[in-house]
């Protein structure tokens, strides 16, 4: 059985596959424009000193997301 977690639960160096995007309106559209859609692989690169924001690698680009936004991206972790 696959585990479904918010993106914020990935550890540095861990990858996940997007299952669901729970953001609404402008933020949803912005994330989709960045390539955050079902089936996209995302890697957690580096967490900020206080854990926020976090740098993620999405489709070859490095994107910093606030925890508030990353919590609305549901992923399944990939085996490391």
Where exactly are the structural domains of the chain? Answer: 5-77
Per-residue pLDDT of the chain in tens (80 residues, 90 and over written 9): 468 999 999 999 999 999 999 988 999 999 999 999 999 999 999 998 887 899 999 999 999 999 999 999 999 998 65
If residue 24 lies in a helix (H) or strand (E), which one and from where to where? Answer: none
- Given 2.30.30.90, 3.40.50.920, 2.60.40.10, 3.50.50.60, which CATH number is that of 5-77? 2.30.30.90
Q: Is omega for the bond preceding 27 within 30 degrees of 0, making it cis? A: no
What is the reported pTM? Answer: 0.88
pLDDT for position 49: 84
CA distances to 2, 3, 42, 79 from 53, in Å: 27, 24, 15, 24
**In sequence order, what are the residues at sequence separation of 6 or more whose Cβ sits closer than 8 angstroms to the Cβ of residue 52?**
66, 67
């Amino acid at each position: 059985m696959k585990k479904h977690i918010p993106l914020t639960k990935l550890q540095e160096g861990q990858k996940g596959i997007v299952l669901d995007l729970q953001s609404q309106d402008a933020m949803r559209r912005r994330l989709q424009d960045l390539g955050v859609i079902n089936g996209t692989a995302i890697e957690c690169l580096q967490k900020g000193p206080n854990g926020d924001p976090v740098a993620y690698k999405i489709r070859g680009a490095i994107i910093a997301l606030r925890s508030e936004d990353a919590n609305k991206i549901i992923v399944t972790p990939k085996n490391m």
